Amino acid sequence: MLLREFYVSLRQILMVMATLRLTRVFNFDMAHVLLNYHGKCKNIHGHTYRLEVTVRGVPINDETSSHKGMLIDFSDFKTIIENNIIKVWDHALMIHQDTDPVLLNALKNNYEKVNIVSYQPTTENMICELAFVIKKLLPEHLQLFSLRLYETAKSFAEWYAEENEE
């Protein structure tokens, strides 16, 4: 195929806007403790988490937009997640609200980033909160497709929109 023919074909392909997925990877360090758990995780401990966020949509087709051909600018995608998730969770402690109130108060009074949650802070529950929050943060033309949250290099939880439709 000649180079010119290739570009003509590419132009024709781009004219048919396909639904695409775009993924951005984030890392953060966070401690957590599992309330009333009878294993190693009953103690405060931390992980280096890896979060993969995948969105779905059709690339912007507005000739006047500097984002034409993009689902979302990667830097905008990064800013949304960094400002609303990573800055809150990175180097924080996540702990259940039913923990001893004296301990909760001591932690809140002595440390800046103590995230008190209404659920057991497992990777499975955390990914559900992430899905709930991220869906609200995305621009209207994008949908959250999936999340993958690694607690360790070998262990992760996954969330898919198609399996969680209301």
Does the domain formed by 16-59+69-163 have CATH 3.30.300.30? no
pLDDT of residue 17: 63
Say which range, 30-44, 73-87, 114-128, has the weakest mean pLDDT: 30-44
> What number is the average pLDDT over the span 27-38?
96
Q: Is the pLDDT of residue 129 over 90?
A: yes
Q: Is the pLDDT of residue 10 over 80?
A: no
Q: Is the pLDDT of residue 41 over 60?
A: yes
- Count other Cβ atoms within 10 Å, centred on residue 58: 12
pLDDT of residue 62: 78
> Would strands 114-117 and 92-96 be described as parallel, antiparallel, or unpaired?
parallel
pLDDT tens track for 57-93: 998 787 887 878 888 999 999 999 999 999 999 999 9
Say which range, 70-74, 96-100, 103-107, has the weakest mean pLDDT: 70-74
Give the start-to-end residue ranges of the domains of the chain. Answer: 16-59+69-163
Q: Is the pLDDT of residue 97 over 70?
A: yes
What are the catalytic residues? 41, 91, 151
